[in-house]
Structure 1
């Protein structure tokens, strides 16, 4: 019956050129990387060491010893949305991910604004990540005075963005090789820190207010509702970025399943990493010390490294530096691939759909994202360093929005198949919708909190509101203006109508660009 009903609905738009076997002049390189490469890129895109360093202090300030519980609770909506990415990728392997899926399920207007949100996350965060990579890199080699010199750090950060962008353009294989090396260095350093910290806790040699870990730390409700809400907002930022693995779907072997699996496993591995290192940090330093130094943000690891590792403190500094360095590169991927997907559907100017004839990468879209990100970084940095942190805070609005949109699109696109089995109903319907609901709730809480200037890093008022909310509103308004402009000047994309998942694809009777070897 579901098949009969589906046949009466408008057919979905034809698959993008890259969904066909063989590489045409406008296609990305097929089978460029495998599952493990995609997994590494998904993990590195979250910048685990940097995310931990940036979030541990503020979370502990909110919830105390229950910080590991908040990390665990934040994982739930991420896993549910990762399930949505997996199932949507099975029936549409498009590098535009959210943009393409939401367009097919809910129409071009919703799809366009979802794609815009993804592109803007790269613009907001790339400069900050490069700044952190440079700062911690200089601290690692003992050039503390350079790290404190804003001009030197900004020049090096811009140079780093250009180099990482060039690596992205040269090819996905080159990007994967760089990421593989960086993840090994990062994970090894983090594990060394965690093991030594816990050893010193149990041996009684901690120099700070050490507390032995307890199973009760995993209770996210221990600190109360208001504190949990604030902690979850920070926790979502920690996990954001894993979907870069899925943005590479057209370039991954077994693209119908491998990218989606890489996204899910990325969130699971991140949970293990965050819990182990988070517990070690809270146990070694104690909640009082972390709460007192919460304002140091990412430099909390710099404060603890010497205490834990002594002369080997450079390992932790190196971990944060490589973490931010890796994410500087991988964060460009979702934005550039989304720009490519939007351009070849006519949602953006065709120039962004150009593929480098030799490297088979979207070089115009990639360089555009990098240049706009550099301009944003330099302009906001001139306002103040706190303004740069405020622009990062605005990320939570965009992240929650397009993740929630994807979760809803999954249930809508598969709506004819949700009652076929309990698995479909739970993993494709209820799970993604619940994840979307949690994220929309966090989005509303973010807007309420950001409306108060006192809650921002800079503590100043922009138009009577907090700077992060003003930045978010500015991005939305610019996006709406561009979207309306495209609607008035182009036609084909805006005539696409919502559809449902093809039954043959859902049930595996045909493969949509799987390119399995």
Structure 2
């Protein structure tokens, strides 16, 4: 049984004002917003599974690659901040791209691609969290069984769906504990690694590891930076809570920039510590050893921290994956809420739980969809799931780049107003957007190679087929959506100025 509640708004504003979709406003502050942003990135998990591969490509210049990979992320973060100040809507990219480029680009780039990337990421995070959990509890045999891992991952998805369904305050409280464990584990690992004699000899870490001009060629530089883009992705999830954040127009944007800077510091500290201790050799614990690339912290934690404390690092990576899983679900459900409120998705996604003030239907739907995708990919092939994870980079570069360019285009008439507007709304977002789209083109080119990833089909890389397939499926879904949601596509850029449908509040108590 539902009770419809109309959302009042004035019609036709040139600048969309915040609209009430039924969420619990003012429930999140700056600290909680930063925590949500950091948790979505999963810093312990991301550095564990990425640093080894970056080192295989860049050697001791891995910190330089991390720094260079951060540049387009930071430039894009400025675009997100400025757009959020102008249009604080939990739909974020969907709303912004629609206002700048129209409903076709908004629905496909800001809606479909973002949701695809998030769902694929959720399957990966659930699988990683399940594997680590089984291993930590001593069930090593089950940790190597794909069926057992998938079943445990589905249970984890059910647990985080229940938490996300009950509200952002509970989710943020849980995230405080999980993020604190991650950062403490990485800090402890770094301090211990710096304190022990390392493979780099008495000279220790060098600032030369940050030299961007020391790469042997553009190919090495591009590949290393592309790998680094993944470990920064996800911070923008905090902006989906802008309608629940106190002074959301200002605070959410501040949190976006702060979270990216904290990530950079954490990653550089950990990279310097790991390379300083283990070196970049291709044997033993060296970061150039391909056998260690899949989880560099698992290889280094025992010699750095000892057997007992290395379990804490293992727990931190497990918690990191689960923490990001929770934040992905929180952000994704609010994205579909906004799309439904603006008439771009079925009205069911606009339903708000009366007590928890959360998008109840959307949260459960997306949790179930992620579980279904996980089971499907597991049944097809475990290697296929790995390639699905790799294709996320293509989707990230696409929607980040489009959003940055949307900032420039939306504010184009105001860029001459002040030097600040020219730089923060024009020059920096434009540079970030072009970098992201260049990364998209380079990714597509590399992924076409059948040797890229674990699968291929008729001489074409499986990762490319999955990425391109996601975009092609989005084009088909867009064609169907245009026939189903005609008012949204007919009204163009003004369709997201205010909610096009009434939000509904479910009266079913749980």
In structure 2, the partner of 1:507 is none
The answer on 1:219 being equivalent to 2:217 is no
In structure 1, the partner of 2:387 is 390
| Alpha-carbon distance in 2 for matches of 1:50, 1:366 | 24
In structure 2, the partner of 1:477 is 472
Pick aligned residue for 1:308 from 298, 304, 311: 304
In structure 2, the partner of 1:164 is 160
In structure 2, the partner of 1:329 is 326
In structure 2, the partner of 1:412 is 409
SS class of match (1:440): helix
In structure 2, the partner of 1:274 is 267
Q: Is the 8 A contact 1:207 1:307 kept in 2?
A: no
| Alpha-carbon distance in 1 for matches of 2:200, 2:433 | 40
1:397-421 Cα deviation digits (max 9, x unpaired): 1111111111011111111111111
Report the Cα offset of residue 143 of structure 1.
Answer: 3.3
| Alpha-carbon distance in 1 for matches of 2:287, 2:96 | 42
Pick aligned residue for 1:467 from 443, 462, 477: 462
SS class of match (2:280): helix
What TM-score does the superposition give when structure 1 sets the normalisation length?
0.89
Report the Cα offset of residue 59 of structure 1.
Answer: 0.5
Report the Cα offset of residue 494 of structure 1.
Answer: 0.9
With over 3 angstroms needed to count, the CA separation of the structure-2 counterparts of 1:209 and 1:129, relative to structure 1, is farther
Q: Is the 8 A contact 1:60 1:66 kept in 2?
A: yes
Pick aligned residue for 1:231 from 221, 224, 230: 224
With over 3 angstroms needed to count, the CA separation of the structure-2 counterparts of 1:465 and 1:296, relative to structure 1, is farther
The answer on 1:188 being equivalent to 2:184 is yes
Pick aligned residue for 1:132 from 98, 120, 128: 128
| Alpha-carbon distance in 2 for matches of 1:297, 1:373 | 27
The answer on 1:403 being equivalent to 2:400 is yes
The answer on 1:59 being equivalent to 2:54 is yes
The answer on 1:443 being equivalent to 2:440 is yes
| Alpha-carbon distance in 2 for matches of 1:261, 1:152 | 42
In structure 1, the partner of 2:278 is 285
| Alpha-carbon distance in 2 for matches of 1:134, 1:469 | 27
Range moving further from structure 2, 487-496 or 430-439: 487-496
Q: Is the 8 A contact 2:134 2:143 kept in 1?
A: yes
Q: Is the 8 A contact 1:165 1:370 kept in 2?
A: yes
SS class of match (2:303): helix
Q: Is the 8 A contact 2:199 2:279 kept in 1?
A: no
Q: Is the 8 A contact 2:55 2:288 kept in 1?
A: no
Q: Is the 8 A contact 1:453 1:466 kept in 2?
A: yes
Report the Cα offset of residue 112 of structure 1.
Answer: 0.5
Report the Cα offset of residue 146 of structure 1.
Answer: 2.8
Report the Cα offset of residue 432 of structure 1.
Answer: 0.5
| Alpha-carbon distance in 1 for matches of 2:289, 2:483 | 52
The answer on 1:429 being equivalent to 2:426 is yes
Number of matched residues?
A: 480
| Alpha-carbon distance in 1 for matches of 2:202, 2:142 | 33
Pick aligned residue for 1:354 from 351, 354, 368: 351
| Alpha-carbon distance in 1 for matches of 2:236, 2:290 | 29
Q: Is the 8 A contact 1:211 1:286 kept in 2?
A: no
| Alpha-carbon distance in 1 for matches of 2:203, 2:221 | 21
What aligned pairs does 1:143-158 form with structure 2 within 5 A after superposition? 143-158=139-154
Structure 2: which 5+ runs fail to align? 1-11, 498-510
SS class of match (2:205): coil
| Alpha-carbon distance in 1 for matches of 2:139, 2:204 | 35
SS class of match (2:356): coil
| Alpha-carbon distance in 2 for matches of 1:486, 1:325 | 33
SS class of match (1:497): helix
Report the Cα offset of residue 220 of structure 1.
Answer: 2.8
Report the Cα offset of residue 122 of structure 1.
Answer: 1.6
In structure 1, the partner of 2:508 is none
Q: Is the 8 A contact 2:120 2:388 kept in 1?
A: yes
What TM-score does the superposition give when structure 2 sets the normalisation length?
0.90
Pick aligned residue for 2:44 from 49, 63, 71: 49
Q: Is the 8 A contact 1:122 1:369 kept in 2?
A: no
Report the Cα offset of residue 481 of structure 1.
Answer: 1.4
Report the Cα offset of residue 461 of structure 1.
Answer: 1.5
Range moving further from structure 2, 462-471 or 323-332: 462-471
In structure 1, the partner of 2:339 is 342
Runs of 4+ in structure 1 deviating by more than 6 angstroms, as ranges, are 207-211
The answer on 1:254 being equivalent to 2:211 is no
Q: Is the 8 A contact 2:157 2:367 kept in 1?
A: yes
In structure 2, the partner of 1:242 is 235
Q: Is the 8 A contact 2:158 2:367 kept in 1?
A: yes
Range moving further from structure 2, 211-220 or 296-305: 296-305
Q: Is the 8 A contact 1:120 1:335 kept in 2?
A: no
Report the Cα offset of residue 364 of structure 1.
Answer: 1.2
Q: Is the 8 A contact 1:340 1:365 kept in 2?
A: yes
Q: Is the 8 A contact 1:93 1:250 kept in 2?
A: yes
Range moving further from structure 2, 269-278 or 146-155: 146-155
| Alpha-carbon distance in 2 for matches of 1:444, 1:210 | 43
Report the Cα offset of residue 328 of structure 1.
Answer: 0.9
1:372-408 Cα deviation digits (max 9, x unpaired): 1111111112233222121111101111111111101
Q: Is the 8 A contact 2:16 2:87 kept in 1?
A: no
